[in-house]
Amino acid sequence: MYQKQAVEDMLRNYTTITSYIVHTGDEEVHSAKLDLDIALQKLQDFSSNLHKTIIGVFVWGIPIQEQAKRMNVSKRQISRRLDDGLHFLTLIMNGEVL
């Protein structure tokens, strides 16, 4: 069962997870990355705004203020999208949303 904090941590370390898997052969991390990749695709299909926000802030490390400016929304809206997107990803990864 994935927790929101674990999903956020995986997103923040997304670019290094693959090299970690290659170097360690950790099957558990590999399985979690596959779950995350599938969930990200489903999120993109569901809402491109949530997907762009999650990728921009958590994966690329764009500050919330800058992401808000790029998407022409408020910082509060970005925070909501981050929370909603993270919640949705967690539900998908846990098999609660298909």
For the chain, the domain total comes to 1
DSSP state of 72: T
Within-domain flag for 79: yes
Contact 43, 14 (CB under 8 A): no
Within-domain flag for 98: no
Question: pLDDT tens-digit profile of 30-78?
Answer: 999 999 999 999 999 999 999 999 999 999 999 999 999 999 999 999 9
Residue 97 has pLDDT above 90, yes or no: no
Domain span at residue 62? 4-93
Q: Which residues contact 8 (CB under 8 A, 6 or more apart)?
A: 58, 86
**Which CATH number is 32's domain given?**
1.10.10
How distant, in Å, are the alpha carbons of 7, 34, 50, 82, 96 from that of 29? 12, 9, 24, 23, 20
Instruction: State how far the Cα of 51 lies from the Cα of 85, in Å rounded to an integer.
Output: 7
Radius of gyration of the chain (CA): 14
Rounded to two decimals, the pTM is 0.90
